[in-house]
A = this chain, B = another copy of it.
Amino acid sequence: MAKIAVLGYGVVGSGTVEVFYKNKENLEKKAGEPLDIKYILDVRDFPDSPYADKFVKDFNVILNDPEISVVSEVIGGLKPAYDFVKSALTAGKSVVTSNKELVAAKGAELLKIAKEKNVNFFFEASVGGGIPIIKPIHACLEANEIDEIAGILNGTTNFILTKMIRDGIGFDEALKTAQELGYAERNPTADVEGFDACRKICILASLAFGRHVYPESVHTEGITKITLDDVSYIDSYNAKIKLIGCVRREDKGEISIGVFPAVIKDESQLAGVNDVFNAILVRGDATGDVVFYGKGAGKLPTASAVVSDIISAVKHSDTSRSLTWADSEQTFVRPFEEFTCANYIRVSIKDSESAKATVKELFGDVEYLSTKGSNSGELAFVTDVMREKDALDKCAGLPDGFGVPVRIRVLDY
Protein backbone atom coordinates (compact mmCIF):
# COMPACT_ATOMS: atom_id res chain seq x y z
CA MET A 1 0.00 0.00 0.00
CA ALA A 2 1.45 3.34 -1.08
CA LYS A 3 0.21 6.42 0.77
CA ILE A 4 0.27 9.78 -0.92
CA ALA A 5 0.04 13.38 0.27
CA VAL A 6 -1.25 16.19 -1.92
CA LEU A 7 0.08 19.67 -1.10
CA GLY A 8 -2.41 22.34 -2.15
CA TYR A 9 -6.11 21.96 -2.94
CA GLY A 10 -6.45 24.62 -5.62
CA VAL A 11 -7.33 23.93 -9.24
CA VAL A 12 -4.62 21.33 -9.91
CA GLY A 13 -4.76 19.85 -6.40
CA SER A 14 -8.49 19.23 -6.44
CA GLY A 15 -8.14 17.88 -9.99
CA THR A 16 -5.42 15.51 -8.83
CA VAL A 17 -7.64 14.13 -6.07
CA GLU A 18 -10.56 13.86 -8.50
CA VAL A 19 -8.60 12.01 -11.20
CA PHE A 20 -6.99 9.78 -8.59
CA TYR A 21 -10.24 8.55 -7.08
CA LYS A 22 -12.04 8.35 -10.40
CA ASN A 23 -9.48 5.92 -11.83
CA LYS A 24 -8.18 4.43 -8.57
CA GLU A 25 -8.83 0.81 -9.47
CA ASN A 26 -7.06 1.12 -12.79
CA LEU A 27 -4.19 3.04 -11.25
CA GLU A 28 -3.63 0.37 -8.63
CA LYS A 29 -3.44 -2.24 -11.38
CA LYS A 30 -0.79 -0.13 -13.10
CA ALA A 31 1.12 0.61 -9.92
CA GLY A 32 0.98 -3.04 -8.89
CA GLU A 33 -0.21 -2.26 -5.36
CA PRO A 34 -3.04 -0.55 -3.44
CA LEU A 35 -2.88 3.25 -3.30
CA ASP A 36 -4.48 5.94 -1.22
CA ILE A 37 -4.29 9.67 -0.60
CA LYS A 38 -3.76 10.02 3.14
CA TYR A 39 -3.36 13.79 3.47
CA ILE A 40 -4.32 16.93 1.63
CA LEU A 41 -2.48 20.03 2.82
CA ASP A 42 -4.25 23.38 2.57
CA VAL A 43 -4.52 26.43 4.80
CA ARG A 44 -8.23 26.61 4.05
CA ASP A 45 -11.00 24.46 5.50
CA PHE A 46 -13.14 22.21 3.30
CA PRO A 47 -15.72 20.87 5.78
CA ASP A 48 -18.12 19.77 3.04
CA SER A 49 -15.55 17.95 0.94
CA PRO A 50 -15.90 14.16 0.73
CA TYR A 51 -12.21 14.18 1.67
CA ALA A 52 -12.68 16.42 4.73
CA ASP A 53 -10.96 13.93 7.04
CA LYS A 54 -7.77 14.05 4.95
CA PHE A 55 -7.09 17.78 5.30
CA VAL A 56 -4.18 18.98 7.40
CA LYS A 57 -2.73 22.44 7.83
CA ASP A 58 0.71 21.51 9.18
CA PHE A 59 3.21 20.18 6.64
CA ASN A 60 5.16 18.47 9.44
CA VAL A 61 2.34 15.96 9.88
CA ILE A 62 3.12 14.76 6.36
CA LEU A 63 6.87 15.08 6.64
CA ASN A 64 7.01 13.05 9.84
CA ASP A 65 4.64 10.30 8.73
CA PRO A 66 6.78 7.39 7.55
CA GLU A 67 3.77 5.91 5.73
CA ILE A 68 3.85 8.71 3.17
CA SER A 69 6.10 7.67 0.32
CA VAL A 70 4.99 10.11 -2.37
CA VAL A 71 4.31 13.83 -1.99
CA SER A 72 2.51 15.67 -4.78
CA GLU A 73 3.28 19.42 -4.69
CA VAL A 74 0.69 21.44 -6.59
CA ILE A 75 0.82 24.71 -4.66
CA GLY A 76 2.86 26.63 -7.22
CA GLY A 77 5.36 29.42 -6.62
CA LEU A 78 8.60 29.14 -4.70
CA LYS A 79 7.39 29.85 -1.21
CA PRO A 80 6.61 27.60 0.66
CA ALA A 81 6.74 24.98 -2.12
CA TYR A 82 10.54 24.93 -2.31
CA ASP A 83 10.97 24.26 1.42
CA PHE A 84 8.28 21.59 1.40
CA VAL A 85 9.71 19.77 -1.60
CA LYS A 86 13.29 19.96 -0.35
CA SER A 87 12.30 18.64 3.09
CA ALA A 88 10.23 15.84 1.60
CA LEU A 89 13.04 14.68 -0.71
CA THR A 90 15.59 14.97 2.11
CA ALA A 91 13.29 12.82 4.25
CA GLY A 92 13.40 10.13 1.56
CA LYS A 93 9.98 10.73 0.03
CA SER A 94 9.48 10.93 -3.73
CA VAL A 95 8.02 14.19 -4.98
CA VAL A 96 5.96 14.94 -8.07
CA THR A 97 5.15 18.52 -8.96
CA SER A 98 3.35 20.68 -11.50
CA ASN A 99 5.33 23.72 -10.36
CA LYS A 100 7.29 25.14 -13.29
CA GLU A 101 8.64 28.05 -11.29
CA LEU A 102 10.13 25.65 -8.78
CA VAL A 103 11.66 23.30 -11.35
CA ALA A 104 13.04 26.16 -13.46
CA ALA A 105 14.62 27.81 -10.42
CA LYS A 106 15.68 24.81 -8.33
CA GLY A 107 15.56 21.75 -10.58
CA ALA A 108 19.27 20.88 -10.48
CA GLU A 109 19.41 21.09 -6.70
CA LEU A 110 16.24 19.07 -6.15
CA LEU A 111 17.21 16.39 -8.65
CA LYS A 112 20.56 16.07 -6.88
CA ILE A 113 18.88 15.53 -3.52
CA ALA A 114 16.49 13.00 -5.07
CA LYS A 115 19.41 11.07 -6.51
CA GLU A 116 21.31 11.07 -3.23
CA LYS A 117 18.24 9.85 -1.38
CA ASN A 118 17.41 7.34 -4.14
CA VAL A 119 13.91 8.72 -4.55
CA ASN A 120 12.16 10.24 -7.55
CA PHE A 121 11.55 13.87 -8.43
CA PHE A 122 9.11 14.04 -11.35
CA PHE A 123 7.56 17.11 -13.01
CA GLU A 124 5.71 16.04 -16.16
CA ALA A 125 2.90 18.51 -15.38
CA SER A 126 5.28 21.49 -15.22
CA VAL A 127 5.50 21.73 -19.02
CA GLY A 128 2.65 21.28 -21.47
CA GLY A 129 -0.02 20.41 -18.88
CA GLY A 130 -1.52 17.12 -20.00
CA ILE A 131 0.84 16.64 -22.93
CA PRO A 132 3.39 13.91 -22.27
CA ILE A 133 6.71 15.64 -22.96
CA ILE A 134 9.20 15.23 -20.09
CA LYS A 135 9.06 11.45 -20.05
CA PRO A 136 9.03 11.09 -23.86
CA ILE A 137 12.12 13.31 -24.19
CA HIS A 138 13.84 11.48 -21.40
CA ALA A 139 12.77 7.90 -22.01
CA CYS A 140 11.68 7.67 -25.66
CA LEU A 141 13.97 9.98 -27.61
CA GLU A 142 17.09 9.00 -25.69
CA ALA A 143 18.66 7.37 -28.75
CA ASN A 144 18.78 10.84 -30.30
CA GLU A 145 21.06 13.78 -29.95
CA ILE A 146 18.48 16.54 -29.62
CA ASP A 147 19.32 19.45 -31.92
CA GLU A 148 16.45 21.80 -31.18
CA ILE A 149 13.25 22.16 -29.20
CA ALA A 150 10.64 24.76 -30.04
CA GLY A 151 7.29 25.10 -28.41
CA ILE A 152 4.09 26.99 -28.05
CA LEU A 153 4.29 26.71 -24.30
CA ASN A 154 1.74 29.21 -23.04
CA GLY A 155 -1.96 28.77 -23.73
CA THR A 156 -2.99 32.28 -22.71
CA THR A 157 -0.78 34.04 -25.24
CA ASN A 158 -1.67 31.51 -27.91
CA PHE A 159 -5.34 32.21 -27.30
CA ILE A 160 -4.74 35.97 -27.55
CA LEU A 161 -2.72 35.63 -30.79
CA THR A 162 -5.34 33.27 -32.26
CA LYS A 163 -8.06 35.82 -31.48
CA MET A 164 -6.03 38.61 -33.08
CA ILE A 165 -5.36 36.54 -36.21
CA ARG A 166 -8.85 35.07 -36.61
CA ASP A 167 -11.08 37.88 -35.43
CA GLY A 168 -8.87 40.84 -36.34
CA ILE A 169 -9.09 42.37 -32.88
CA GLY A 170 -6.19 44.14 -31.20
CA PHE A 171 -4.06 42.86 -28.35
CA ASP A 172 -5.88 44.75 -25.59
CA GLU A 173 -9.30 43.52 -26.64
CA ALA A 174 -8.07 39.96 -27.12
CA LEU A 175 -6.50 40.04 -23.65
CA LYS A 176 -9.78 41.27 -22.21
CA THR A 177 -11.63 38.38 -23.84
CA ALA A 178 -9.07 35.95 -22.46
CA GLN A 179 -9.56 37.40 -18.99
CA GLU A 180 -13.34 37.17 -19.28
CA LEU A 181 -13.06 33.51 -20.25
CA GLY A 182 -10.70 32.79 -17.37
CA TYR A 183 -7.77 32.03 -19.69
CA ALA A 184 -5.76 35.01 -18.47
CA GLU A 185 -5.17 36.24 -14.93
CA ARG A 186 -6.19 39.68 -13.80
CA ASN A 187 -2.47 40.47 -13.73
CA PRO A 188 -1.44 38.84 -17.01
CA THR A 189 2.25 39.80 -16.88
CA ALA A 190 3.71 36.32 -16.38
CA ASP A 191 1.87 35.10 -19.47
CA VAL A 192 1.94 38.03 -21.89
CA GLU A 193 5.54 39.01 -21.13
CA GLY A 194 6.73 35.45 -21.81
CA PHE A 195 7.93 34.62 -18.29
CA ASP A 196 5.77 31.50 -18.05
CA ALA A 197 6.98 30.20 -21.41
CA CYS A 198 10.53 31.04 -20.35
CA ARG A 199 10.35 28.76 -17.31
CA LYS A 200 9.05 25.94 -19.46
CA ILE A 201 11.70 26.20 -22.15
CA CYS A 202 14.31 26.31 -19.36
CA ILE A 203 13.02 22.99 -18.04
CA LEU A 204 13.02 21.41 -21.49
CA ALA A 205 16.49 22.77 -22.26
CA SER A 206 17.89 21.50 -18.98
CA LEU A 207 16.42 18.08 -19.63
CA ALA A 208 17.57 17.86 -23.24
CA PHE A 209 21.06 19.26 -22.78
CA GLY A 210 21.86 18.00 -19.30
CA ARG A 211 22.72 21.27 -17.59
CA HIS A 212 20.47 23.64 -15.70
CA VAL A 213 19.36 26.67 -17.66
CA TYR A 214 18.19 29.47 -15.40
CA PRO A 215 15.36 31.79 -16.55
CA GLU A 216 17.52 34.88 -15.91
CA SER A 217 19.90 33.77 -18.66
CA VAL A 218 17.18 33.54 -21.29
CA HIS A 219 16.31 36.37 -23.67
CA THR A 220 12.57 36.79 -23.12
CA GLU A 221 10.06 38.95 -25.00
CA GLY A 222 6.29 38.90 -24.76
CA ILE A 223 3.50 39.62 -27.23
CA THR A 224 2.27 43.01 -26.01
CA LYS A 225 3.78 44.86 -28.97
CA ILE A 226 2.22 42.71 -31.68
CA THR A 227 -0.13 44.76 -33.86
CA LEU A 228 -2.83 43.85 -36.34
CA ASP A 229 -0.71 45.45 -39.08
CA ASP A 230 1.94 42.81 -38.48
CA VAL A 231 -0.66 40.04 -38.27
CA SER A 232 -1.93 41.11 -41.67
CA TYR A 233 1.47 41.33 -43.39
CA ILE A 234 2.48 37.98 -41.95
CA ASP A 235 -0.79 36.44 -43.12
CA SER A 236 0.19 37.49 -46.64
CA TYR A 237 3.47 35.63 -46.08
CA ASN A 238 1.39 32.47 -45.45
CA ALA A 239 2.52 32.41 -41.86
CA LYS A 240 1.31 33.00 -38.32
CA ILE A 241 2.74 34.87 -35.33
CA LYS A 242 3.26 32.55 -32.36
CA LEU A 243 4.97 33.04 -29.02
CA ILE A 244 7.80 30.52 -29.26
CA GLY A 245 10.21 29.25 -26.65
CA CYS A 246 13.14 27.65 -28.41
CA VAL A 247 16.51 26.17 -27.63
CA ARG A 248 19.13 25.08 -30.12
CA ARG A 249 22.34 23.09 -29.78
CA GLU A 250 25.30 25.18 -30.92
CA ASP A 251 28.94 24.18 -31.29
CA LYS A 252 31.47 24.25 -28.41
CA GLY A 253 28.91 22.66 -26.07
CA GLU A 254 26.81 25.81 -26.01
CA ILE A 255 23.10 26.37 -26.53
CA SER A 256 21.08 29.30 -27.83
CA ILE A 257 17.79 29.88 -26.09
CA GLY A 258 15.06 32.48 -26.20
CA VAL A 259 11.36 33.27 -25.86
CA PHE A 260 9.83 35.71 -28.32
CA PRO A 261 7.00 36.16 -30.81
CA ALA A 262 8.03 34.51 -34.05
CA VAL A 263 6.81 34.16 -37.60
CA ILE A 264 6.02 30.49 -38.33
CA LYS A 265 5.16 29.38 -41.87
CA ASP A 266 1.74 27.77 -42.30
CA GLU A 267 3.19 24.41 -43.35
CA SER A 268 4.78 24.02 -39.91
CA GLN A 269 2.92 21.81 -37.45
CA LEU A 270 3.26 24.68 -34.97
CA ALA A 271 1.32 27.16 -37.14
CA GLY A 272 -1.93 25.21 -36.82
CA VAL A 273 -1.87 25.16 -33.02
CA ASN A 274 -4.69 27.45 -32.01
CA ASP A 275 -6.56 28.76 -28.96
CA VAL A 276 -5.26 27.57 -25.60
CA PHE A 277 -3.53 24.52 -27.06
CA ASN A 278 0.20 23.95 -26.71
CA ALA A 279 2.63 22.04 -28.91
CA ILE A 280 6.26 21.14 -28.56
CA LEU A 281 8.51 20.23 -31.48
CA VAL A 282 11.60 18.17 -30.72
CA ARG A 283 14.19 17.88 -33.49
CA GLY A 284 16.38 14.81 -33.01
CA ASP A 285 19.26 13.66 -35.16
CA ALA A 286 17.64 10.26 -35.75
CA THR A 287 13.89 10.87 -35.48
CA GLY A 288 13.77 14.20 -37.27
CA ASP A 289 10.92 16.40 -36.04
CA VAL A 290 8.50 14.96 -33.52
CA VAL A 291 5.61 17.13 -32.29
CA PHE A 292 3.55 16.70 -29.13
CA TYR A 293 0.23 18.53 -29.05
CA GLY A 294 -2.55 18.98 -26.53
CA LYS A 295 -4.02 21.06 -23.74
CA GLY A 296 -1.20 22.88 -22.03
CA ALA A 297 -3.14 23.79 -18.93
CA GLY A 298 -6.44 23.22 -17.19
CA LYS A 299 -7.52 21.29 -14.15
CA LEU A 300 -7.92 17.76 -15.45
CA PRO A 301 -5.17 17.67 -18.10
CA THR A 302 -2.59 18.92 -15.59
CA ALA A 303 -3.94 16.61 -12.89
CA SER A 304 -3.66 13.70 -15.30
CA ALA A 305 0.07 14.37 -15.65
CA VAL A 306 0.48 14.69 -11.88
CA VAL A 307 -1.32 11.40 -11.25
CA SER A 308 0.72 9.65 -13.93
CA ASP A 309 3.89 10.83 -12.17
CA ILE A 310 2.50 9.56 -8.86
CA ILE A 311 2.11 6.10 -10.41
CA SER A 312 5.63 6.24 -11.82
CA ALA A 313 6.97 7.25 -8.42
CA VAL A 314 5.10 4.40 -6.73
CA LYS A 315 6.45 1.91 -9.24
CA HIS A 316 9.91 3.10 -8.24
CA SER A 317 10.70 3.60 -11.84
CA ASP A 318 14.42 3.54 -12.29
CA THR A 319 14.12 6.94 -13.90
CA SER A 320 15.76 8.51 -10.88
CA ARG A 321 19.00 6.96 -12.04
CA SER A 322 19.06 8.90 -15.27
CA LEU A 323 16.61 11.81 -15.00
CA THR A 324 19.04 14.45 -13.85
CA TRP A 325 20.92 17.51 -14.93
CA ALA A 326 23.90 19.29 -13.51
CA ASP A 327 24.18 22.83 -12.30
CA SER A 328 25.45 24.78 -15.26
CA GLU A 329 28.41 26.96 -16.00
CA GLN A 330 28.00 30.54 -17.07
CA THR A 331 29.28 29.82 -20.59
CA PHE A 332 26.65 27.20 -21.44
CA VAL A 333 24.10 29.72 -22.75
CA ARG A 334 25.45 31.60 -25.74
CA PRO A 335 24.80 35.38 -25.72
CA PHE A 336 21.54 35.98 -27.53
CA GLU A 337 23.15 38.47 -29.91
CA GLU A 338 24.75 35.42 -31.56
CA PHE A 339 21.33 33.83 -32.24
CA THR A 340 20.67 33.45 -35.96
CA CYS A 341 17.38 33.66 -37.81
CA ALA A 342 15.60 35.49 -40.60
CA ASN A 343 13.67 38.65 -39.70
CA TYR A 344 10.36 40.20 -40.59
CA ILE A 345 10.82 43.98 -40.56
CA ARG A 346 8.28 46.77 -41.02
CA VAL A 347 9.39 50.37 -41.45
CA SER A 348 7.84 53.75 -42.18
CA ILE A 349 8.88 55.25 -45.49
CA LYS A 350 8.33 58.33 -47.57
CA ASP A 351 9.36 57.19 -51.02
CA SER A 352 9.16 53.52 -51.91
CA GLU A 353 11.94 53.39 -54.50
CA SER A 354 14.60 55.16 -52.50
CA ALA A 355 13.56 53.25 -49.36
CA LYS A 356 13.98 49.94 -51.17
CA ALA A 357 17.44 51.01 -52.26
CA THR A 358 18.36 51.74 -48.63
CA VAL A 359 16.90 48.40 -47.51
CA LYS A 360 18.89 46.56 -50.19
CA GLU A 361 22.08 48.31 -49.16
CA LEU A 362 21.60 47.35 -45.51
CA PHE A 363 19.84 43.99 -45.65
CA GLY A 364 20.71 42.66 -49.12
CA ASP A 365 17.96 40.92 -51.08
CA VAL A 366 14.74 40.73 -49.11
CA GLU A 367 11.21 39.48 -49.79
CA TYR A 368 8.68 42.33 -49.73
CA LEU A 369 5.26 41.61 -48.29
CA SER A 370 1.97 43.22 -49.12
CA THR A 371 -1.42 43.10 -47.48
CA LYS A 372 -4.96 44.25 -47.95
CA GLY A 373 -4.41 47.08 -45.55
CA SER A 374 -0.88 47.96 -46.62
CA ASN A 375 -0.42 51.66 -46.94
CA SER A 376 2.04 53.57 -49.05
CA GLY A 377 3.70 54.96 -45.95
CA GLU A 378 5.36 51.70 -44.96
CA LEU A 379 7.34 48.71 -46.17
CA ALA A 380 7.38 45.19 -44.74
CA PHE A 381 9.93 42.59 -45.75
CA VAL A 382 11.61 39.36 -44.70
CA THR A 383 15.40 39.17 -44.60
CA ASP A 384 17.80 36.28 -44.99
CA VAL A 385 19.12 34.50 -41.92
CA MET A 386 21.50 36.69 -39.93
CA ARG A 387 22.89 37.07 -36.44
CA GLU A 388 20.74 38.92 -33.91
CA LYS A 389 23.55 41.42 -33.46
CA ASP A 390 23.64 42.16 -37.19
CA ALA A 391 19.87 42.53 -37.34
CA LEU A 392 20.00 45.05 -34.49
CA ASP A 393 22.87 46.96 -36.09
CA LYS A 394 21.18 47.08 -39.47
CA CYS A 395 17.89 48.29 -37.95
CA ALA A 396 19.82 50.93 -36.02
CA GLY A 397 21.50 51.91 -39.27
CA LEU A 398 18.21 52.80 -40.98
CA PRO A 399 17.99 56.53 -41.65
CA ASP A 400 15.66 58.72 -39.58
CA GLY A 401 12.78 58.69 -42.06
CA PHE A 402 12.21 54.97 -41.46
CA GLY A 403 10.79 55.49 -37.97
CA VAL A 404 11.27 52.83 -35.31
CA PRO A 405 11.36 49.55 -37.21
CA VAL A 406 9.17 46.68 -36.02
CA ARG A 407 11.12 43.40 -36.10
CA ILE A 408 9.75 39.89 -35.55
CA ARG A 409 12.07 36.89 -35.88
CA VAL A 410 11.23 34.25 -38.48
CA LEU A 411 11.79 30.65 -37.39
CA ASP A 412 11.96 27.57 -39.55
CA TYR A 413 10.16 24.68 -37.85
- Write the residues of chain A forming the contact surface with B, with a CB cutoff of 8 angstroms: 19-20, 22-23, 26-27, 29-32, 124, 130-132, 135-136, 139-145, 267, 269, 272-274, 284-295, 298, 300-301, 303-308, 311-312, 315-318, 321-322
Q: CB distance A26 to B145 under 8 Å?
A: yes
Q: CB distance B142 to A27 under 8 Å?
A: yes
Residue in B139, B274, B300, B312 whose beta carbon sits within 8 Å of that of A286 in the complex: B300
A307 to B300, CA, bound (A): 33
Report 24 cross-chain contacts, Cβ distance below 8 Å, ordered by A residue.
A20-B143, A23-B144, A26-B142, A31-B322, A32-B322, A130-B286, A131-B287, A131-B290, A132-B136, A132-B140, A132-B141, A135-B136, A139-B308, A141-B304, A143-B303, A143-B304, A143-B306, A269-B273, A284-B304, A287-B294, A288-B294, A291-B291, A291-B293, A317-B318
A304 to B143, CA, bound (A): 5
Q: For A273, what are the chain B residues with a Cβ–Cβ distance below 8 Å?
A: 269
A110 to B291, CA, bound (A): 31
Q: Measured between C-beta atoms, what is the minimum distance from A234 to chain B in Å?
A: 18
Q: Measured between C-beta atoms, what is the minimum distance from A153 to chain B in Å?
A: 15
- Nearest 6 A/B pairs, CB to CB: A132-B140, A130-B287, A143-B307, A286-B304, A290-B294, A291-B293
A13 to B307, CA, bound (A): 37
Residue in B22, B287, B300 whose beta carbon sits within 8 Å of that of A304 in the complex: B287
Q: Measured between C-beta atoms, what is the minimum distance from A253 to chain B in Å?
A: 14
Q: Measured between C-beta atoms, what is the minimum distance from A258 to chain B in Å?
A: 24
